[in-house]
Structure 1
Amino acid sequence: MSVTNHAQPAAGITDYIAIARPDHWIKHVLIIPGVAFALIMSQTGPIELATLAERLVICLFVAMALSSANYTINEWLDAPFDAMHPTKRARPAVQTAMSPTIVLAQYVVLTTVGIWAANRLGYAFAATATVFAVFGVIYNVRPIRAKDRAFVDVIVESLNNPLRFLFGWFAVVPSIAPPVSILLAYWFGGAFLMAAKRVSEHRAIVEAGGTANLAAYRPSFAVYTHSSLVTSCLVYAQGFAFMMAIFLLKYRIEYLVVVPMLIALFASYMRLALTPDSAAARPEELMRQPAMLIAAAVTMALFGILTFVDLPWLNSLTSSDLIRLGGIR
């Protein structure tokens, strides 16, 4: 339940809009690779641009509606815990007296219209949207409330990444599934980002109020340590690299050229997470990191270029033949 007292002002319409977090819609940029890879890999023939544009608009609307529904219950149910966080204590659910009826109605309306719109894009897209909504409940609502369970919280929250990829993919090709390797890579990549976020949050809470505030903010943080979180980041990064290697070698070896850029992006984000008052704790603020945005744009551009440029010399990397050294007896 929300934190309330008699001194709190009644929440206004802007407060209810704020808990839906439209400023977090920037995270749906993760849909773009799903669209791009579907266009590149599906080979379904000519695409009607007007139809594709309509499907992509509906896709984005569904993603925004369902994520805002999840954020609504997230912020409402987290209010008692956010009151113990050095920055989240300023959120509307903590600072104002919100009506449970309005909060529930907002969640139901956003979820309903999101699922309704998702059904216009076919069974696979609607099933993905339903899973997205269900995991929002699993993550936020008791008795499961996965976000309170160390490491399980990262696993569940980061599932939103491959689900966003599927949004983009099924918006383009509703009858073909993407490779499992790219979905697992997307999940590992999301897990790395979420674990890095917790590295930053863990440090900020300890610096603001000591280790006693960790459990008050979230039970999982009483289990986490700085070293366990950093170690988990390493595990997730390795998982991402392994699954991406499978995907690249299996489908287009030219994409291996992009690997150094991906490594640099992961290293930059980890460095950011280890920086005081880091934007890694607030992913929606990454738009203020121009160097990282430029690197991400260059990486995506390289993927696009290498889709059409063949590099035959890379094929030797998949050969099982040993290298023979001439002139040695």
Structure 2
Amino acid sequence: MPTKQESIPVTDALPAPPGKLADYLSLARFDHMTKHVFILPGLVLALALQPPIFANLVFKVPLGLLSAICIASANYVINEWLDREHDAAHPTKSKRRAVVVALEPGLVYGEYLFLAITGLFLAYIVGTLFFLTSIAFLASGVLYNVRPMRLKDKPYLDVLMECLNNPIRFLLGWAIVDGLTLPPVSVLAAYWMAGAFLMAAKRLGEYRDIAQTAGIEVLSKYRRSFHYYTEESLLVSCFVYAMMTAFLTGIFLVKYRVEYILVFPFMSGLFAVYIWLAARPGSVVQRPERLFHSRRLDVMLAACLAVFIFATFVDMPFLDFIATPSFLSLPVLR
């Protein structure tokens, strides 16, 4: 029989503390705003290929960026809320506020609706194409996170669906400048495959870290699609997505602007640095909000963007021979 000094063991876990305003705001992941850099190439390309009305841009650019931030944050809110049980199995995501504090479902869904409606309202002001693209942006978050679809649980579809936000962001940038036409399909598809490479590399980094330390069972609890992946299959998929990006970009530059061939070496370097980062323990590719903490990646991305902008606005006729069929003539021996 225990004495007064002996403690009686507690079998029930302590209840989670109630959520505060900061906890609800953290669901929106405003620190992920850096991802909206993917809007810029669409905006720059539209400026190069279509005559813009600059007076409208002063008005549309800030509204468009604010709209994209609101819709992306709405997707993050529903993502983090519906993933809270799965995130509990992840070594770092288990510290997310939806996991460790008690949040009111009504307030979470209210936050989602507020961000979604605000984003769509701003998108409607920007223009019709921007508004329709924003609806697709919001719908992608539903398809990715919400049952019965929940494509994040399907191998390969999880990567292709999540990175669909890349061409959507590109189209948002394009629609800010030109709301009457669509960008070339080849560049949208190339942007999609580039995003697939980045996302597959992120999966590879997660697989290497978590599977080696906690085991594949823990990884499968965090995300069901990992049950079907192996380190080799993820590495091969990275290679395929990189090849498809190069192929589709080649189609675009031959048809529209051969000067973009100058970007290829820098793009290759950017992909090489990213896959190198994915192979490192505790890689920053697993936390996109910290990607710009890598100096090598920053240098390669800055170089890539600088050459892209240069090739967009500077004509180089001497490169036309690349897109012109020609054959070398050999001397005739007699």
After TM superposition, the score normalised by the length of structure 1 is 0.95
| Shift, 1:6, TM fit | 4.7
When residues 328 and 275 of structure 1 are mapped into structure 2, their CA distance, relative to the original with a 3 A threshold, is farther
Decide which of 218, 227, 232 is 1:222's aligned counterpart. Answer: 227
One-letter identity of the residue aligned with 1:76: W
Match of 1:41 in 2: 49
Match of 1:123 in 2: 128
One-letter identity of the residue aligned with 2:21: I
| 1:322 partner SS | coil
Alpha-carbon distance between aligned partners in 2 of 1:112 and 1:306, rounded to the nearest angstrom: 38
- Residues 142-157 of structure 1 aligned to structure 2 (within 5 Å): 142-157=147-162
Match of 1:319 in 2: 324
Alpha-carbon distance between aligned partners in 1 of 2:32 and 2:15, rounded to the nearest angstrom: 29
Alpha-carbon distance between aligned partners in 2 of 1:20 and 1:312, rounded to the nearest angstrom: 47
Decide which of 292, 299, 305 is 1:300's aligned counterpart. Answer: 305
Alpha-carbon distance between aligned partners in 2 of 1:270 and 1:203, rounded to the nearest angstrom: 13
One-letter identity of the residue aligned with 2:23: D
Alpha-carbon distance between aligned partners in 2 of 1:225 and 1:261, rounded to the nearest angstrom: 29
| Shift, 1:283, TM fit | 1.3
8 Å contact 1:42–1:176 — kept in the other structure? no
Match of 2:17 in 1: 9
What's the CA shift string for 1:288-324, capped at 9, x where partnerless?
1122112212222112222343333322222323211
| 1:307 partner SS | helix
Match of 2:201 in 1: 196
8 Å contact 1:86–1:204 — kept in the other structure? no
Alpha-carbon distance between aligned partners in 1 of 2:204 and 2:54, rounded to the nearest angstrom: 45
Decide which of 73, 78, 94 is 1:73's aligned counterpart. Answer: 78
What's the CA shift string for 1:89-127, capped at 9, x where partnerless?
111011111111110100011111111111112211110
| 2:83 partner SS | helix
Decide which of 211, 214, 227 is 2:216's aligned counterpart. Answer: 211
Match of 1:23 in 2: 31
Structure 2: runs of 5 or more not aligned: 1-12
When residues 7 and 241 of structure 1 are mapped into structure 2, their CA distance, relative to the original with a 3 A threshold, is same
Decide which of 221, 230, 237 is 1:232's aligned counterpart. Answer: 237
Match of 2:289 in 1: 284
Alpha-carbon distance between aligned partners in 2 of 1:79 and 1:115, rounded to the nearest angstrom: 26
Match of 2:175 in 1: 170
User: Who wins on radius of gyration, i.e. which is larger?
Assistant: 2
Alpha-carbon distance between aligned partners in 2 of 1:156 and 1:117, rounded to the nearest angstrom: 25
Structure 1: runs of 5 or more not aligned: none
| Shift, 1:205, TM fit | 1.4
Percent identity for Structure 1 against Structure 2: 44
| Shift, 1:10, TM fit | 0.7
Alpha-carbon distance between aligned partners in 2 of 1:201 and 1:186, rounded to the nearest angstrom: 23
Computed over aligned residues only, the root mean square deviation of the Cα atoms, in angstroms, reads 1.4
Alpha-carbon distance between aligned partners in 2 of 1:305 and 1:126, rounded to the nearest angstrom: 30
| 1:11 partner SS | coil
Match of 2:8 in 1: none
- Residues 179-190 of structure 1 aligned to structure 2 (within 5 Å): 179-190=184-195
8 Å contact 2:45–2:312 — kept in the other structure? no
Match of 2:3 in 1: none
| Shift, 1:328, TM fit | 5.2
Alpha-carbon distance between aligned partners in 2 of 1:291 and 1:217, rounded to the nearest angstrom: 30
